[in-house]
A and B are shown apart, each in its own frame.
Chain A
């Protein structure tokens, strides 16, 4: 049933075509396909495929990012119908993210932000040179599940520790998880400062964020 339809949905994700994906989502509803089925049989396989292709070096980062955007567009169309039916779309969680005070390296942080968001997390990107307290305040404000702190300098790495401490002070831990990353950061360092996870690269950051939230 609907094989052709599912294939087209899959392809819209692979092509990274948000408009086409949302059209196909509407069409699916017209055809009476259950929204969760549309997601799981149509769109998700596209995302899985492109993720694998990226790991193999066959597709480039912007392909991956646009696949995530197409996915979001499709889900946005299907969401109201899901709510009507009482079926839950998987919400992955809220992440507050930034490069720590004193550090202006933004590229790695932005990639992490983009991939988290493309994977279905809601990301609050605070930018670079972010004061320690700001991470805690924002986490409280948006009821974040995860705070992500990027640092590219051995000097500013210390700020990752301060963010962990600030979250402690604000009584936000252990509910709010902390992940850290950046060129000088290691797994040992993450453990030492009491962070919950470390990402060697942006893909790993997404994986660790998922696993911390058991998603």
Chain B
């Protein structure tokens, strides 16, 4: 994309920033971690009541001046594939859905580890999915270390960058150990990070122990942390978008300060969403309401910091018209606003259900958006004045080399139907978009395989999973064998 559509003016961004600063100085936040408390106290923040912290603005200014303006995620092969800066946008799935709608049967059921494997392989194959998240929460592995199994499955089945979620800090430490085994050591991973941890924070004003621990661990290691305080308007924050965003952004600034105090220049990714509200009629937490779209992105661009944004979710319970429309609108608007890492493609039912069929539809929509937002080349070649003159009023363009040279630059659908009526009946048997998308998923699963992990690396990864099992005093389960992923 060329440029971004700014929902907020620079002046409005400044107002929000100042509001967040006022929250930090006047109201203050609670930090549930001793190291973080010690760091901010030492730096000059005021700590009262044990863990209530009020920050002077200069700490924020300082952090904003040292946090990297750009973070580049690499693939497993060490190639820089996701430069998070400017108008670059990258789409991918979400994590940890409690249910899956099986693309083969349409049944809604509890996911298993094999579903994580399949989701990862599908993401690896889909061109517009730039990164991978676990998508499903497997019910057939020990729940307290399900995160280890998810991470292992993702390492085996994609070379794309991985955005991961873990319950506790130990899970994050294990994930990084596995990633280091793959990258070839801590330095290699720091220089070419291909994984990033998504950390959820209770609210802008409450920073839970796990979130701070993970942030400090990752900052210490110089690895990218996605530090995301969540405010749900009407319940944990003001129902107004500005107030909600000012509040969550106060929490974002806290994360920046702490990470930069821990290690100057530590890479932090801030949220490209915020200002959302609970649905006060149904009590459901919606993922793709229209109101606050673009606000948090504008703020992240104002700070010139890399962001973790949303795109592609739907509240629908099915892969239906609503699912397509919500996902498409959401992805389009978030792309126009210049979100960097855009997650949650394939999410239904406010993050409680996921669908690979829906993911494939999202992939098609992203390719459409890319073409709609691509910069336009105006040159002698594309203006084609010589060609026009050569053909003149009486000729036609079908036989020209110029046509054949450029015709494939246009967008052609993979899933969207553009046949005439009889062609649609004959080729596809008159199927719907969802049916065609499910078939695409089946085809990918039948044919696509990514570059496997080397046997030694796979074994090192497996040992980390086994260690987590052993630490809980349990016999390892079969899936810890790398072989089952092949």
Which residues on B sit within 8 Å (CB–CB) of A106? Answer: 202, 236
A60 to B144, CA, bound (A): 37
A61 to B235, CA, bound (A): 10
B143–A158 touching, CB < 8 Å? yes
A202 to B281, CA, bound (A): 12
Interface residues of B in 261-307 (CB under 8 A from A): 278, 280-283, 285
Interface residues on chain B, number (Cβ under 8 Å): 20
Per a CB cutoff under 8 Å, which of B144, B232, B281, B282 touches A107?
B232
A104 CB within 8 Å of chain B: yes
Which residues on A sit within 8 Å (CB–CB) of B232? Answer: 107
Interface residues of B in 188-244 (CB under 8 A from A): 202, 208, 232, 234-236
A62 to B280, CA, bound (A): 7
A110 to B285, CA, bound (A): 14
Interface residues on chain A, number (Cβ under 8 Å): 19
B98 CB within 8 Å of chain A: yes
B281–A155 touching, CB < 8 Å? no
- Tell me whether A107 and B236 are in contact in the complex, defined as CB-CB below 8 angstroms, given that A61-B280, A183-B98, A183-B352 are known contacts: yes
Which residues on B sit within 8 Å (CB–CB) of A40? Answer: none
Which residues on A sit within 8 Å (CB–CB) of B352? Answer: 183
B137 CB within 8 Å of chain A: yes
B98–A107 touching, CB < 8 Å? no
Interface residues of A in 110-161 (CB under 8 A from B): 110-111, 153-155, 158
Which residues on B sit within 8 Å (CB–CB) of A110? Answer: 235
A79 CB within 8 Å of chain B: no
B167–A153 touching, CB < 8 Å? yes
B281–A60 touching, CB < 8 Å? yes
A106 to B208, CA, bound (A): 12
Which residues on A sit within 8 Å (CB–CB) of B366? Answer: none
A158 to B142, CA, bound (A): 12
Mask of A167-187 contacts with B, CB within 8 angstroms, 1/0: 000000000000000011000
A15 CB within 8 Å of chain B: no
Which residues on B sit within 8 Å (CB–CB) of A165? Answer: none
A196 CB within 8 Å of chain B: no
B23 CB within 8 Å of chain A: no
A57 CB within 8 Å of chain B: yes
- Tell me whether A154 and B98 are in contact in the complex, defined as CB-CB below 8 angstroms, given that A60-B280, A61-B280, A183-B352 are known contacts: yes
A97 to B134, CA, bound (A): 32
B162 CB within 8 Å of chain A: no
Which residues on B sit within 8 Å (CB–CB) of A54? Answer: 281
- Tell me whether A154 and B143 are in contact in the complex, defined as CB-CB below 8 angstroms, given that A62-B234, A106-B236 are known contacts: yes
A154–B137 touching, CB < 8 Å? yes
B167–A155 touching, CB < 8 Å? yes
Minimum CB–CB distance for B432 against chain A, Å: 30
A61 to B98, CA, bound (A): 26
A202–B283 touching, CB < 8 Å? yes
Residue of B nearest to A158 (CB): B143
Mask of B137-175 contacts with A, CB within 8 angstroms, 1/0: 101000110100000000000000000000100000000
Residue of A nearest to B168 (CB): A102
Minimum CB–CB distance for A161 against chain B, Å: 12
A110 to B402, CA, bound (A): 65
Residue of A nearest to B282 (CB): A57
Residue of B nearest to A154 (CB): B143
B283–A61 touching, CB < 8 Å? yes
A57–B283 touching, CB < 8 Å? no
Which residues on B sit within 8 Å (CB–CB) of A202? Answer: 283
Which residues on B sit within 8 Å (CB–CB) of A183? Answer: 98, 352
Interface residues of A (CB under 8 A from B): 54, 57, 60-62, 104, 106-108, 110-111, 153-155, 158, 183-184, 201-202
A61-B280, A104-B208, A107-B232 provided; 13 other pairs, C-beta below 8 A? Answer: A54-B281, A57-B282, A61-B234, A61-B278, A108-B283, A110-B235, A111-B235, A111-B283, A154-B137, A154-B143, A154-B146, A155-B143, A202-B283
By Cβ-Cβ distance, the 3 closest A-B pairs, closest first, are A60-B280, A61-B280, A57-B281
6 examples of A-B residue contacts, CB within 8 angstroms:
A61-B234, A61-B281, A62-B280, A107-B235, A154-B143, A155-B144
